[in-house]
Structure 1
């Protein structure tokens, strides 16, 4: 089954609506932690997730901490549950905007997912601009659902195993 991986809740919500409109039953994984900041490591591991949460607890102000830490724990729980449920029959489609946060997230995940899982990437900025011109979205969250579904047709072929290393 194809799993869409998107960075940020806005992109996740837009993609959910696009897939729902087309009655597509595919998984969506939303990565909300800004991996550009804080300790690095394999965020698919709970030890790294806890290390990042502790770091966020140190840098967030008290007002943001009360909501953000619980939310981050919940999203990491969903990420861990998804990782545990992987069967090896999946393929991943990454939606990546033209931002350091999304590039960093892509690199972290590509480095840590099993190499046997085929991946494809929709680079949101050039795909959108090529199709529609003018507006240049910096993230998948800036695209309305109707246009996200059209960009699906512009995805690159899936890469397998060793192809991902080059």
Structure 2
């Protein structure tokens, strides 16, 4: 059994769950890119892959995560190639894809599905779509992310495992192709596995609302956004959007506009 997740925190909690239940025993693999943002045109061929890599380089340059693209730390193409190789060599091997009700996981699932069709019957999905769980305090909650679920609750979650149907292998790639061909900058989850596209500046309006007439570090602005906004994304993407707006002279700024702790912003002085 091979478990596939889409967040580092999910990897950690799933490994804890495996320690509690030997029937879950297996390797845990993480798909690391965030396919909910950035270009998707021709995403499965060299040209599209390189376009996406270059976009991430541009987003991360001069920021807290600069160099990640070329460090070798994130190479989902290599990860999936090794996964496919393992499945071809061992016809008894199965894959469990774990996804929660968020755009990051759903986009990762759609991206991965393209490589899984030849293994239909051996690929399973555990999609925690609007399902209640018990938190550490004994209360009922609906997790948006796998890592919000206590490890012991994964023992119940495993009962949700089901085979990805032939119909899903036919219909879901069409849905993903439509999103890829739209090639906008942001994907949002409407419900279930239904995605919609938005422009690169989708988060800008709410980000601007947090900036006041007082100096605030960019890190504070971003963390406030992540704690309050209905629609969130990664801090690297928000830092990039903040820099784009600064380049458009929307705010006053002091400090070196690189890492999010290195500079401060406030509304323009009239």
TM-score with structure 2 setting the length: 0.51
Listed as ranges, the matches of 1:99-118 within 5 Å are: 99-118=102-121
* Match in the other structure for 1:31: 31
Q: Which has the larger Rg?
A: 2
Residues 153/46 of structure 1: CA separation in 2 closer, same or farther (3 Å cut): farther
Listed as ranges, the matches of 1:134-149 within 5 Å are: 134-149=140-155
Contact 1:49 1:76 in 2 (8 A): no
- Structure possessing the higher relative contact order (Cα contacts under 8 Å, 6 or more residues apart): 1
Q: How many aligned residue pairs are there?
A: 160
Which residue among 139, 153, 156 is the counterpart of 1:150?
156
Q: Which runs of 4+ in 1 moved over 6 A?
A: none
* Match in the other structure for 1:6: 5
* Match in the other structure for 1:165: 170
Contact 2:10 2:147 in 1 (8 A): yes
Q: How much has 1:148 moved relative to structure 2? A: 1.3
Are 1:57 and 2:57 an aligned pair?
yes
| Secondary structure of the corresponding residue to residue 68 of structure 2 | helix
Name the one with the larger helix percent. 1
Distance of 1:73 and 1:3 partners within structure 2: 19
TM-score with structure 1 setting the length: 0.77
The unaligned stretches of length 5 or more in structure 1 are none
Distance of 2:130 and 2:68 partners within structure 1: 32
The unaligned stretches of length 5 or more in structure 2 are 172-270
Contact 2:57 2:66 in 1 (8 A): no
